[in-house]
Structure 1
């Protein structure tokens, strides 16, 4: 007996806005939309696919009345795949992210940011291949 991680739920005030932000960040698309909920992903899950393989989870944004009050206990890390880390940070700032500091000190190799509703996430080192010839 086993389970699969199928979705990560993110409480928010504006599911449409936050889903649009994360679609831009991750190159995801909206795969489902209901009253106060928007689900995004890199694939549209089917029961058969989930049973057959461990697939990447979707992100589900659910509207809640309360705002964020403390540092996230769970956060996303992203790694740019076709640009440098600094370029990716600049791109994300253009979508409404902000740089933030959660008291992790100056000697870190990642950039801590927050999405438009204040949820922290980290931009890690780039995965872009550089030509050294």
Structure 2
């Protein structure tokens, strides 16, 4: 992938950097000193741009922060999967800007083959995300191979004990498939498959 090429995984790398007075392009390795120069192995002075420097006051806060994450699913039809899961969870499909896509094509950063028309909208072929405020972003990305074995990671859809049966019925009507019921002590769940065969539990 070229540096300028769009990626469905990409987001603002450090969205609240300005709030703590740090430029968004925070380096992985801390420079020896703020601004000025550092020494290479041969003794040559190398200028350190100001934006590569994190102050002594802010650095401990950044280096001790926990990390966020997003969940990625392989899919044969990522846009259909995103629609299905957005409906299942009550989330929204993350919008993609058709004008931006056309602009990227006109500038040579992408081609028509990188796009698809889904529900009448021009979108990136390779993938799409769903989102809900305060929750991890979920991405569905195009892969050529189909699912063949049990997932090592799955989603638990938490609806509350009194709502499990109604939710199983609702999701079945929308294309999910019943697998089995499970119980461990006082906890119970229903395992199902989404339209592409990914296991998930309703609990």
Q: What TM-score range do you get, normalising by the shorter chain?
A: 0.7 to 0.9
Q: Distance in 1 between matches of 2:147 and 2:77?
A: 12
Q: TM-score, normalised by structure 1?
A: 0.74
1:82-121 mapped onto 2 (5 Å cutoff): 84-101=163-180, 108=183, 109-121=188-200
Q: Distance in 1 between matches of 2:90 and 2:182?
A: 30
Runs of 4 or more, structure 1, over 2 Å off, are 1-6, 32-35
**Quick check: 1:6–1:56 contact (8 Å CA) kept in 2?**
no
Query: Which gives a bigger RCO, structure 1 or 2 (Cα 8 Å, sep 6+)?
Result: 1
Q: CA deviation at 1:107?
A: 5.2
- Name 1:22's counterpart in structure 2: 85
**Quick check: 2:182–2:189 contact (8 Å CA) kept in 1?**
no
- Name 1:35's counterpart in structure 2: 125
Q: Distance in 2 between matches of 1:22 and 1:38?
A: 12
What is the aligned counterpart of 1:64 among 121, 143, 147?
143
Q: Distance in 2 between matches of 1:58 and 1:78?
A: 15
Q: TM-score, normalised by structure 2?
A: 0.50
Deviations 1:54-113 (A, max 9, x none): x421110001000111100000001115x6110000001011110114xxxx65210000
5+ residue gaps in structure 2? Answer: 1-62, 97-123
Q: Distance in 2 between matches of 1:69 and 1:78?
A: 23
Establish whether residue 123 from structure 1 lines up as the match of residue 199 from structure 2.
Answer: no
5+ residue gaps in structure 1? Answer: 44-54, 125-133
Q: Distance in 2 between matches of 1:77 and 1:107?
A: 13
Aligned length: 109
**Quick check: 1:72–1:119 contact (8 Å CA) kept in 2?**
yes
Q: Which structure has the bigger radius of gyration?
A: 2
